[in-house]
Amino acid sequence: MSESMTPERRVLLTKHIMSLLDSWGTSGEQKVVLLGLDGEVKARKLDRFRQNEPFPDTDTVNEHLEHIVGIADALRTTYPRNVEMCNLWLRKPHKRFDGRTPIQVMVEEGLSGLIRVRSQLDCAFAWDNSGSV
């Protein structure tokens, strides 16, 4: 995700992702997990990413960002006329997640939870991820 990204674009991406996670109604601790920053950043230090500091450019963080962006894109495609439905879908318990919300799945399961939620929303991603040809 960041091979060809300028520092300025990475700062813009960081601000956009923070705004997105805010709109999802996530807490600071949840953001830390969703971003793959556990052990690196404390929740109380997240405000620096709202200013001009980009997320760390690590494989772990970049992989988490890729899935967050994929989830946001899939939600936008699923609910193109109602942004609030995207947020509602993320906070509503679902049978396919054993009665948990997608946010809970992503936070409790980390990267595999992000992949699981993205797979539910994006059939093309799920197909590619399955190894099917």
Domain assignment present for residue 92? The answer is yes
20: tokens are 């997105």
Decide if 1 is inside a domain. no
Quote the number of domains for the chain: 1
Report the distance separating Cα 43 and Cα 1, nearest Å: 24
Q: What's the pTM?
A: 0.89
Average pLDDT on 87-101 reads 96
Instruction: Indicate the range of 5-14, 75-84, 118-127 predicted with least confidence.
Output: 118-127
pLDDT score of 18: 97
Q: Which domain holds residue 61?
A: 7-130
52 part of a folded domain = yes
Contacts of 37 (CB under 8 A, 6+ apart): 31, 55, 56, 61
Q: How far apart are CA 112 and CA 82, in angstroms?
A: 27
User: What's the pLDDT tens digit per position in 99-128?
Assistant: 999 999 999 999 999 999 999 998 878 676
In a domain, 2, yes or no: no
Place of tokens 């990204």: 5
CA 115 to chain centre: 10
